[in-house]
Amino acid sequence: MAWKSIYATAFAAAFAAFAATGGIHAAEKAAVAVEREEKAAAAAPARPLGKDATIPFANSGNIRDWHPDGLNALYVQDARGQWYRASLMGPCNELPTTETIAFLTRGPDQLDKYSAVGVRGQRCQFSALVTSAAPSKRDKIKATAAKG
């Protein structure tokens, strides 16, 4: 009789665990959801490049990365992984060799074509901020070598 009690307890525990996790249907639903997300990502239109852009909350943690593009531009990546290219009004001599910059915004906390970067005491004014593809690996390697 003891074995019937152990068997019943084990069966009840297994059934409760199966029911709590959603059983077979939960795994099927998860697979369908992943497939649906992959299809949506593939069907989503590519982001248009070269369009005027703004990056909200630039001074509140929404800038993930940046890379210089010579003396007259830099690439900026937001927290979602989207890249932008900021063209500068003139050469920013210290940009290729610095490791830190300050994003200077006016008014609202957003980076746009009216913003600037501060680099070792030099203010480098933007002339444009547009959507962009990620910088090429070659550009990243050159920027890293310049910072040396």
Rg of the chain's alpha carbons, rounded to an integer?
26
Which residues form the domain of 32?
Answer: 2-43
Judgement on whether residues 132 and 98 belong to the same structural domain of the protein:
yes
User: How many H helices and E strands in the chain?
Assistant: 3, 8
In a domain, 50, yes or no: no
In a domain, 122, yes or no: yes
In this structure, what are the phi and psi dihedrals at residue 2, rounded to the nearest 5 degrees?
Answer: -65, -35
Q: How many domains does the chain have?
A: 2
Which range is most confident: 14-23, 45-54, 84-93?
84-93
Judgement on whether residues 63 and 133 belong to the same structural domain of the protein:
yes
In a domain, 105, yes or no: yes
Judgement on whether residues 38 and 70 belong to the same structural domain of the protein:
no
In a domain, 63, yes or no: yes
Judgement on whether residues 35 and 106 belong to the same structural domain of the protein:
no
In this structure, what are the phi and psi dihedrals at residue 41, rounded to the nearest 5 degrees?
Answer: -65, -40
What is the side-by-side order of every strand in the sheet holding 73-78? 63-68, 73-78, 83-88, 122-132, 116-119, 102-104
Can you tell me the mean pLDDT for 135-141? 69
Judgement on whether residues 20 and 86 belong to the same structural domain of the protein:
no
Judgement on whether residues 63 and 108 belong to the same structural domain of the protein:
yes
Residue 97 gets which letter from DSSP? G
Can you tell me the mean pLDDT for 97-112? 92
In a domain, 49, yes or no: no
pLDDT tens digits for range 31-61? 666 576 566 555 556 889 999 999 999 888 8
Sign of the Cα torsion 132, 138, 139, 141 reads: positive
In a domain, 48, yes or no: no
Q: Residue 140: count other Cβ atoms within 10 Å of its Cβ.
A: 15
